[in-house]
């Protein structure tokens, strides 16, 4: 049986020096670790349906902020960074098409936020403005941190992880404010920040605010199970 093809979105187009698309290797490594065959998906493709027609699963990666204009947010906040119309348009179209096709999906950090916006939700522009510094969700743009998360015990996410409490790698300054249509929160940080969502009657969709790829390689890490579940569902659909 062939390895399932897993699309992995990349960051925005880098224009300094030679133009390039890139993505941290940890996403690719995590997909390979559990038997998936990663395929990078740079923004700019006008026909995401053509991409998804050849893929068995999808990882929506983290990265820069979504343009607040896309969810009715105020523009000009000093903490906003790396907004990119090309990436926003591509990923919003991609996730809507993936949902329509019922493509197995793992949405990570920005990816969760893209999912939420695609379904009509919105975001807190800068978490420290809302919840303060009780929980540090990001040290800087260059450095992640760790903090505990509580998962609803009866959620699909808890079943995949095999636990309702875990320490996660956190690297974000925005988070869900108003949930998109059909989404429900299933995990929270100690300050009440939504850390994961599920989509009603769509078990093929997993979405977390933290970065499981940074811990997937650790022995016995429950984070690996997020990628394993994605690849298992992708493999089942590829048969």
Please answer whether residues 224 and 33 qualify as being in contact, where contact means their C-beta atoms are separated by less than 8 angstroms: yes
pLDDT of residue 64: 93
Handedness of CA 42, 47, 50, 53 (dihedral sign): positive
How do 123-124 and 165-170 pair as beta strands? unpaired
pLDDT of residue 76: 76
Active-site residue, selected from the candidate residues 84, 109, 124, 198? 109
pLDDT of residue 20: 92
pTM of the predicted model as reported, rounded to 2 decimal places: 0.96
Q: pLDDT averaged over consecutive 10-residue blocks of the chain (239 residues)? A: 94 87 97 98 94 97 96 85 95 98 98 98 96 92 92 98 97 97 98 97 97 95 97 88
Spatial separation of the C-alpha atoms in residues 168 and 148, rounded to whole Å = 6
User: Is 211 in the active site?
Assistant: yes
| Fold that domain 5-238 belongs to in CATH | Rossmann fold (3.40.50)
User: Is 213 in the active site?
Assistant: yes
User: Is 109 in the active site?
Assistant: yes
Question: What are the sequence ranges of the domains in the chain?
Answer: 5-238
Active-site residue, selected from the candidate residues 195, 198, 211, 232? 211
Active-site residue, selected from the candidate residues 91, 97, 213, 232? 213
């Amino acid at each position: 049986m062939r390895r399932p093809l897993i699309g992995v979105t990349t960051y925005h187009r880098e224009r300094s020096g030679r133009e390039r698309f890139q993505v941290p290797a940890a996403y690719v490594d995590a997909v390979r670790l559990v038997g998936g065959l990663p395929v990078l998906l740079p923004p700019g493709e006008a026909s995401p349906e053509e991409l998804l027609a050849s893929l068995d699963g999808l990882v929506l990666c983290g990265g820069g902020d979504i343009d607040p204009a896309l969810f009715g947010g105020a523009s000009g906040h000093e903490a906003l960074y790396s907004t990119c119309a090309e990436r926003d348009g591509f990923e919003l179209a991609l996730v809507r098409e993936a949902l329509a096709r019922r493509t197995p999906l793992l949405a990570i950090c920005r990816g969760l936020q893209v999912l939420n916006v695609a379904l009509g939700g919105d975001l807190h522009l800068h978490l420290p403005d809302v919840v303060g510094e009780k929980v540090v969700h990001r040290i800087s743009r260059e450095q992640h941190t760790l903090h505990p998360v509580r998962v609803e015990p009866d959620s699909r996410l808890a079943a995949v992880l095999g636990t309702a409490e875990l320490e996660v790698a956190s690297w974000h300054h925005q988070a869900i404010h108003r949930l998109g249509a059909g989404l429900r929160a299933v995990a929270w940080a100690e300050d009440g920040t939504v850390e994961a969502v599920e989509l009603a009657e769509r078990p093929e969709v997993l979405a977390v605010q933290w970065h499981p790829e940074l811990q997937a390689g650790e022995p016995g890490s429950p984070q690996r199970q997020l990628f394993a579940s994605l690849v298992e569902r992708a493999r089942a659909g590829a048969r």
